[in-house]
Amino acid sequence: MSRITIPQADQTPSASLPLLEAVNRQLGVVPNLMKVVGNSPAALEGYLSLNGALGKSTVGAKTSERIALAVAELNGCGYCLSAHSYLGSNLAKLDAAELDANRHGSSSDPKAAAALRFATQIVGTRGHVPDVELAAIKAAGYSEAEIIEIVLLVALNTLTNYVNNVAQTDIDFPEVKPFK
């Protein structure tokens, strides 16, 4: 059971309602994560703004989902593993073997594998990646803009991992448990 309230519509702060309605129009559902974050209209607006901006990144949806899975696994977030396994499979069209590899910080796609190695380095070093790792991501063909996008994807996913880990948000996707 969630440790932070998942408010019903009549309990949701009024400033969060239009934001949650926009989520519902886009996804056809309002995931529990959004409802929990919606306890704070400012937090929901900030999350949705960054998420929307990163949806336009040149890294692409498939690699974004891959990064989300790797970060969720490292942070032990069952909610995000469940959500991004579902999204990775159904929206990004990643197969089961790829989803498993992504959770281990790898990919069958060499360029995506480089992004995942870099993303896991960001998490593991708390952003203090060695020069050799920065050189490796550049050598894999990522521009400096894309490197910044990867850093922000790691940060955005860490944010949702931490919210869900603190809240113990009720999972409303097919459940996937962390390996550890």
Q: Does residue 74 sit in the same domain as residue 148?
A: yes
Contact 103, 73 (CB under 8 A): yes
d(CA 112, CA 110): 5
Query: Would you state the pLDDT for residue 74?
Result: 98
Q: Does residue 35 sit in the same domain as residue 85?
A: no
Locate tokens 């069958």: which residue? 108
Q: Does residue 48 sit in the same domain as residue 130?
A: no
Instruction: Identify which of 60, 45, 81 has the alpha carbon closest to the alpha carbon of residue 157.
Output: 81
Q: Is residue 174 part of a domain?
A: no
Domain count for the chain, please give it. Answer: 2
Which residue range is the domain that position 123 belongs to?
A: 61-167
Q: Does residue 127 sit in the same domain as residue 79?
A: yes
Q: Does residue 78 sit in the same domain as residue 17?
A: no
d(CA 67, CA 45): 22
Q: Is residue 78 part of a domain?
A: yes
Q: Does residue 24 sit in the same domain as residue 79?
A: no
Q: Does residue 81 sit in the same domain as residue 41?
A: no
Please say whether the dihedral angle defined by the alpha carbons of residues 87, 159, 153 and 124, taken in this order, is positive or negative: negative
Q: Does residue 79 sit in the same domain as residue 149?
A: yes
Which are the contacts of 83, defined by CB distance < 8 A and separation ≥ 6? 31, 33, 173
Instruction: Identify which of 120, 177, 129, 113 has the alpha carbon closest to the alpha carbon of residue 153.
Output: 120
d(CA 34, CA 179): 25
Q: Is residue 180 part of a domain?
A: no
Q: Is residue 179 part of a domain?
A: no
- CATH number of the domain where residue 80 is located: 1.20.1290.10
**What is the full per-residue pLDDT of the chain (180 aa) written as tens digits?**
899 999 998 999 999 999 999 999 999 999 999 999 999 999 999 999 999 999 999 999 999 999 999 999 999 999 999 999 999 999 999 999 999 999 999 999 999 999 999 999 999 999 999 999 999 999 999 999 999 999 999 999 999 999 999 999 999 999 999 997
